A and B are shown apart, each in its own frame.
Chain A
Amino acid sequence: MRPLKDIAAVRVRDLVVGFGNHVVLDHLSLDVRRGEILGFVGGSGSGKSVLLRTIIGLLPKQRGSISVLGTDLEHVDDIQRRAVERRWGVLFQQGALFSSLTALQNVQFPMRENLSLSQRLLREIGLAKLAMVGLSERDADKMPSELSGGMTKRVALARALALDPELVFLDEPTSGLDPISAGEFDELIRTLQRTLGLTVFMVTHDLETLRTVCDRVAALADGKVIAIGDMSAMLSSQHPWMQAYFQGKRAHVLARERSTMGV
């Protein structure tokens, strides 16, 4: 048996996705290795979310192949497809919590549908998952409309992790959070990734997240992956868009702070 690291958790080859005549992803190829956190960057409207939604099957592709956890989802029946879907979790940008269910019920929803657990275990595991993302029992019975932005993301993460998936897709996990919450959320993702042995595919704009959390970073421009590697490779890239992104004004502020703090 090959070591787990060698089998890509997500393998995208030659992917073409477009709407009408407008091509968003143009022969894109990408591998997400097992057990890594891959950060995916790109300008607004460059197709990051389109790629994520295509991988998880929410958007149709025009050409190319996608295999997730060793399964090509195009050539399998519904049962196999659902079995793979149970092994991944998705955190949507706005959380996408079910507004008619409480926080706890949101987390329990995938368990209730997929596993035949006793009421006691269902409650205990649900609360344990909420505790793992840093929420107390007092928050468990709140409705999504009563949760703050950061709490919504935490509940959504707990729901994405409900079935102990191997692979997690995060769509801009720290957007809309204040720097402290965003930092805590980064920490949380890192910790959970280590303890649960997750593979994480993360679309993000947050340079700080990319620096502190991600093992590798992939950059998307003109419908292709223009660079992939660790953060230092990103910083030394000569591509003009990459330079603008990683060495723009906002990046400089970060860099300056880092140097003054001696990091």
Chain B
Amino acid sequence: MTEIKETNSRTGKIALALSPGGFIGRDVLPAAPLLSVTQRDGQLHLAAAGAWTAPHAAELEVLVDSLATELAAAHEVAIDMQGVREFDTYGAWLLRRLTRAWQERGQQMRIAGLADRYQGLIQEVNQATVAAAADARKSSVRDGFEALGRSLSVMGRDFVTFVAMVGALCLALLAATKRPRTFRATSTVHHLDRVGWQAVPIILLITFLIGGIIAQQGFFHFRKFGADEYVVDMVGILVLREIGVLIVAVMVAGRSGSSYTAELGSMKMREEIDALRTMGFDPVEILILPRIVALIIALPLLTFVGSMAALYGGGLVAWLYGGMSPEIFVARLKEAISLTHFKVGLIKAPFMALAIGVVAAVEGLKVKGSAASLGLQTTTSVVKSIFLVIVLDGLFAIFFASIGM
């Protein structure tokens, strides 16, 4: 946009106009400038014309704001709105801005020629009180401390809600053992199908590949020392103690933990959980307990299945890549591993399942009304449960080392 500002020395007339450039075509644009200014003996005469509407608001604002110096120099101001064909909230607002700047100095501005049908609009806009944007910037050091404090208190509260959820689960479980009929067996089986049975193919595939990769890497590097046969020890121990359960837990956290959070979160959003509560049911007992029980049953089973698939993958790679016959692999595996290794892996599984389930439930119940919050909570659920799974694994490693398993 180019601004044309020409001054006629004799009349002191300044014409302000902007070249056509709005999004409406030229034919719709007003021929006369939106605002033209005549100056005489300190008296400022403003003549408005054309369409004072939303499409022209941007140009109008530039014109109105550019008048600040002329307004400051003037003793008296009159606005003639006769030429205005169209007028809307945007025009009314800018007219208000024009008059406000003047009125703040305690002087009156005459507005003439505005059609009666727009008077209501002017009044409506003048009633609206709008404070200037508060631009309060705090010091960055204080901001930093504030953020730190906030995140610490959030962490503290998260821990409390986690423990509270475990407590609520224990209570629900206690109630279910007292009155076994109240336990939702159907729901549990349904969730067992979803998180257990339906997860088997993907778990098999992934652990099979991981087992194969470990064996391949083992052969590639151990061969340099002539220690080929120790690959079997590595694959066996690593898979049974750590990798099998970790991979499965991470998969389940991403696959089932996220869906638990999303389900519970959308139920929370649609007030289904509140509805349950008002009917005298405990949402923990009805919704959360069956899900977590299903997870606690499913994860050890999936770990077993996954570990077997990983060993199979390792054996296959040993045969095809390492040239070790299956008979030797199995014989070597029998020597290398004991039941202890198997138990160490499997004992961890239900605890990881509990952590995943509780985190998923807690995050699901934290969902507020918006779709964005559902997404945020689901992400948080997956990130937190994977983090907790790794932390638990570390704690178990210390524990098993100290009891000599």
CA distance A172 to B401 in the complex (A): 68
Is residue B369 contacting chain A, with contact meaning CB distance below 8 A? yes
> Are A131's CB and B127's CB within 8 A?
yes
Do A144 and B369 touch (CB < 8 A)?
yes
State whether A197 touches B117 (Cβ < 8 A).
Answer: yes
B89/A117 in contact, CB under 8 A: no
Residues of B within 8 A of A132 (CB): 89, 124-125, 128
Closest A residue, CB atoms, query B96:
A128
Q: A259 on the interface (CB 8 Å rule)?
A: no
The chain B residue with its CB closest to the CB of A140 is B130
CB pair A125 B93 closer than 8 Å: yes
Interface string of A110-148 (1 = CB under 8 A from B): 010011111011011101110110000100000111100
- Distance between B245 CB and nearest chain A CB, rounded to angstroms: 38
Cβ-defined partner of B130 (8 Å) among A99, A131, A161: A131
Q: Count residues of chain A with CB under 8 A from any CB of chain B.
A: 32
Instruction: Compute how far the CA of A99 lies from the CA of B88 in the bound complex, rounded to whole angstroms.
Output: 28
Instruction: Let me know if A195 and B370 touch, CB within 8 A.
Output: no
**Docked complex Cα distance between A124 and B60 (Å):** 15
Q: Is the CB–CB distance between B120 and A194 below 8 Å?
A: yes
Q: Does B384 contact A (CB under 8 A)?
A: no
Query: In chain B between 269 and 304, which residues have their CB closer than 8 angstroms to a CB of chain A?
Result: none
**A164 at the B interface (CB under 8 A):** yes
B54 at the interface (CB under 8 A from A): yes
Q: Is the CB of B368 within 8 A of A145?
A: yes
Contact between B61 and A121, CB atoms less than 8 A apart: yes
Report yes or no: B89 in contact with A164, Cβ–Cβ below 8 A: yes
Q: Are A144 and B370 in contact, CB atoms less than 8 angstroms apart? A: yes
Q: Which residue of A lies closest to B375 (CB)?
A: A100
Is B370 a contact of A100 with CB atoms below 8 Å? yes
> By the criterion CB–CB under 8 Å, are B93 and A100 in contact?
no
Q: Is the CB of A99 within 8 A of B89?
A: no
- Taking the complex as formed, is B31 at the interface, i.e. its CB lies under 8 A from any CB of chain A? no
- The residue of chain B having its C-beta at the shortest distance from the C-beta of A137 within the complex is B131
CB-CB under 8 A for A164 and B58, given A131-B128, A131-B130, A196-B121: no
Decide if A163 is an interface residue (CB 8 Å cutoff): yes
Encode B121-150 as 1/0 by CB contact (under 8 A) with A: 101110111110100000000000000000
B262 to chain A, nearest CB (A): 16
Interface string of B37-56 (1 = CB under 8 A from A): 00000000000000001110
| Complex: A165 Cα to B97 Cα, angstroms | 22
Given contacts A100-B370, A100-B372, A164-B90, contact A117 B61 (CB under 8 A): yes
B247 at the interface (CB under 8 A from A): no
Neighbouring A residues of B129 by C-beta, 8 Å? 131, 137
Query: A60 CA to B163 CA in the complex, in Å?
Result: 54
**CB-nearest residue of chain A relative to B55?**
A115
Size class of the B contact interface (CB-based, 8 Å): 20 to 34
Cα of A226 to Cα of B369 in the assembled complex, Å: 41
Interchain CB contact (< 8 A) of B58 among A115, A124, A127, A143: A115
Partner of B373, one of A131, A145, A194: A145
Docked-complex contact A123 and B370, CB < 8 angstroms: no
Known interface pairs A124-B130, A145-B370; A115-B124 also in contact (CB < 8 Å): no
Residue from A111, A115, A123 whose CB has the most chain B CB atoms within 10 Å: A115
Contacts of B371 in A (CB 8 A): 99-100
Q: Which residues of A contact B53 (CB under 8 A)?
A: 164
Cα distance, A131 to B131, chains bound together (Å): 12
Known contacts A100-B371, A145-B368, A195-B124; A128 and B93 CB within 8 A of each other: yes
Cβ of B272 to closest chain A Cβ, rounded Å: 16
A128-B89 contact given A99-B369, A145-B370, A195-B120, CB 8 Å threshold: yes
Write the A189-208 contact mask toward B (1 if CB under 8 angstroms, else 0): 00100111100000000000
Is there an interface contact between B125 and A128, defined as CB atoms closer than 8 Å?
A: yes
* Complex contacts, B392 vs chain A, CB 8 Å: none
B206 at the binding interface (Cβ < 8 Å)? no
A contact residues around B165 at 8 Å (CB): none
**Are B57 and A117 in contact, with the CB atoms below 8 A?**
yes
Distance, CA A59 to CA B69, complexed state (A):
54
Q: Residues of A contacting B368 with CB < 8 Å? A: 145
Please, what's the 1-or-0 string for B107-119, where 1 marks a CB less than 8 Å from any CB in chain A? 0000000000100
Task: Report the bound CA distance from A111 to B125 in whole Å.
Answer: 17
CA distance A123 to B128 in the complex (A): 13
Task: List residues 64-82 of chain A with CB under 8 A from any CB of chain B.
Answer: none
With both beta carbons as reference points, the residue of chain A lying nearest to B128 in the complex is identified as A131
* CB contact list, B71-111 vs A, under 8 A: 88-90, 93-94, 97
In the bound assembly, the distance between CA atoms of A163 and B220 in angstroms comes to: 68
Is there an interface contact between B57 and A121, defined as CB atoms closer than 8 Å?
A: yes
Q: Which residues of A contact B (CB under 8 A)?
A: 83, 99-100, 111, 114-118, 120-121, 123-125, 127-129, 131-132, 137, 143-146, 161, 163-164, 191, 194-197
- Taking Cβ atoms with an 8 Å cutoff, the residues of B that contact A are 23-24, 53-55, 57-58, 61, 88-90, 93-94, 97, 117, 120-121, 123-125, 127-131, 133, 368-373
Q: What would 17 A/B residue contacts be, using CB atoms closer than 8 Å? A: A115-B55, A116-B58, A121-B57, A123-B133, A124-B130, A125-B57, A125-B93, A127-B128, A128-B89, A128-B125, A131-B127, A131-B129, A132-B124, A143-B370, A164-B89, A195-B121, A195-B123
Q: Which 3 A-B pairs have the closest CB atoms?
A: A145-B369, A131-B128, A99-B370
Q: A131-B129, A196-B89 are in contact. List 12 more A-B contacts (CB 8 A).
A: A115-B54, A117-B57, A120-B133, A121-B57, A123-B130, A123-B133, A131-B128, A132-B128, A137-B130, A145-B369, A145-B370, A161-B89
